[in-house]
Structure 1
């Protein structure tokens, strides 16, 4: 009886400690920054998908949003659905000249050119708002994807130039403004930066985003700049557009040498497309706010998280899978992907 009471007391104390820790974590996580209406945020890839919704959501939150779009029609659609406070600009992250033009525009919008005439007379509390508070690196592409053997070197470069090299160049160009504001960098990676499920440049680029973000975070913490990584699962956006993926796969299959066809088997292409259909139709969520809410928290929370996993499949399947031994992760992915049937 004495031992039973002791065990019960120990269990109660443990539950109380866990509840206290959870309460402290939730309280800390919910604390918000002040002065949001004075802060500028640049979001890339705002033509559609996560970027489009994030720009509108941050605009409603009160940020001065600078939404970078690849095309003028995309920028026009965004302006029509946002407040006059939101500004759009055209940006191709693979073009250094385009990035430089965007930098000049952001400097102008944030009052950077006037800062040297005002710095000596500005009150101390105003000086912290000079610069760029947030950079959300969201621009990205996925196609081409498919077995590695079906790719050419240019296929990897096409995706890496947008998803990784472009992200790095944009970040480096805007770092001085971010350091001045002691602001935030939010990089959109993917669960495919944790588990490599498909061939092509997409997984490579997202693994690179993870590594770049980790290194940048450790370097920038000395300057008060926070770096967060968003790791979405499968969502229904242009990046996961099934028709684009299928069309590209069919073109690649038709251009493969005969010996490669025979090695994979006649049914491999259709089996591979069925896997993509399952991923996009069954796993993919249409609720993009699961991702954009993570972006908003990373920009507005007093204590932003280092990593955000977005979507039930990311939280409960892909991220846990990434922590398992490689042999187990390989076994699971081999079950999910089609097998070759030499003909």
Structure 2
């Protein structure tokens, strides 16, 4: 081997060694960063047994499970239900520490009464957590199946209700330098259906972002829960299909003709297939995110709940519109006119 070849071989060897060292250092730093994040993520706030949390929409679903879950962890839970039966059933399934009250989030006076009740319960400590969970999904369907009041029915509960409840409870939250947890949806990132539901959840995302920035000066942290598809009253197929049948029956004949005679049945079949394939029955995936947002020392800004949200819907929301349009259109039937 001549001198030039030896020098070249030596330089190549050193280059390979340095490349391996750099790669090893990068992997080591990345591993340490992940470990540090997990450790930091696991730290809990102190004195949870002295903190009060107010939850809306506790008749069933996420709110009901979260109320029982936090009650089991020793927190003081005040659970708001829409119906007396929902309140009675929840009270019988929880400890005497959990309190229930009736609340209609579309009624300002009802919210005011709830604030007075919670204020008496929390005293000077203030309210540690507010979970805006109450919501509704129907009516849904193509846009020209709707009337303007169909949008306001959903927006009044899912968005205006969230805003009104939050504004009225903010003084109590400021006292405790507490937490606000708002339940949005992956449909707050992707409009998978028409009607007021997606619009309301996009609004919850925007309201939560502005609230978080404004309230950080007062020590209040705001978290957004973005569930995928789960089996709750909101995704009840009987409820959705019943509403769609009423909506189709009232449409003018020219609108029905524009979609074609087979479209409605195909639309119902798609709804049944989608709910059957996508909806998870393990709603604790959502309530664990809610609990972390309330009890973690360093809560996250957003929580994707469910594997479909984390691995498909949320990544899809970052892609160009023509890509997301392709997938959404593949899920729905096409009108006769197209």
Shorter chain as denominator, the TM-score bin is over 0.9
Give the superposition deviation at 1:342: 3.6
Q: Is 1:322 equivalent to 2:317 in the alignment? A: yes
Write the deviation string for residues 254-303 of structure 1: whole angstroms up to 9, x where unpaired: 11111111111111112211221122111110001000000100000000
Query: Could you give the per-residue CA deviations for residues 113-172 of structure 1, whole angstroms, max 9, x where no partner exists?
Result: xx4xxxxxxxxxxxxxx1000000000000100001000011001000000001100000
Query: How far apart are the structure 1 equivalents of 2:260 and 2:15?
Result: 66
CA distance in 2, matches of 1:105, 1:278: 44
The whole-number CA distance in structure 1 between the counterparts of 2:40 and 2:273 is 38
Residue 264 (structure 1) aligns with? 259
Residue deviations 1:310-336 (CA, integer Å, cap 9, x gap): 001100010001100112111221112
Q: 1:186–1:228: 8 Å Cα contact kept in structure 2?
A: yes
Cross-structure match for 2:126? 131
Larger Rg: 2
| Superposed CA offset, 1:67-102 (max 9, x none) | 000011001110111111000010000111110110
* Residue 179 of structure 2 corresponds to residue 184 of structure 1: yes
**2 CA distance for matches of 1:212 and 1:26?**
29
2: CA distance, partners of 1:134 / 1:278: 37
> C-alpha separation between the residues in 1 aligned to 2:242 and 2:309?
27
SS at match of 1:324: coil
1:100 is aligned to 2:112: yes
Q: Which aligned pairs between 1:168-317 and structure 2 lie closer than 5 A?
A: 168-317=163-312
Alignment partners' CA distance in 2, 1:178 and 1:278: 43
Structure 1 contact 234–279 (Cα < 8 Å) conserved? no
- Structure 2 residue aligned with 1:165: 160
Structure 1: state its 5+ residue gaps. Answer: 116-129
Pairs within 5 Å for 1:36-115: 36-111=48-123, 115=124
Tell me, in whole angstroms, the C-alpha distance in 2 between the residues paired with 1:135 and 1:269: 40
Q: Counterparts of 2:229 and 2:316 in 1: how far apart (Å)? A: 15
Indicate the residue corresponding to 2:45 in structure 1: 33
Q: Which runs of 4+ in 1 moved over 4 A?
A: none
Q: 1: CA distance between counterparts of 2:279 and 2:327? A: 19
- Provide the C-alpha distance between the structure 2 equivalents of 1:61 and 1:279, rounded to a whole number of angstroms: 35
Q: Which one of the candidate residues 141, 148, 151 is aligned to 1:156?
A: 151
**Residue matched to 2:8:** none
The Cα RMSD (Å) is: 1.0
Residue pair 1:47, 1:71 contacting (<8 A) in 2 also: yes
Alignment of 1:134-149 (within 5 A): 134-149=129-144
Distance (Å, rounded) in 2 between the aligned partners of 1:187 and 1:240: 19
TM-score (ref. length: structure 2): 0.95
Question: How far apart, in 2, do the equivalents of 1:331 and 1:281 lie?
Answer: 21
Alignment-derived partner of residue 9 in structure 1:
21
- Partners in 2 of 1:40 and 1:277 — Cα distance? 40
* CA shift for structure 1 position 14: 1.0
| SS, match of residue 287 in structure 1 | coil
- How far is the alpha carbon of 1:6 from its aligned partner? 2.0
What secondary structure does 1:110 align onto?
A: helix
Q: How many residues align?
A: 326
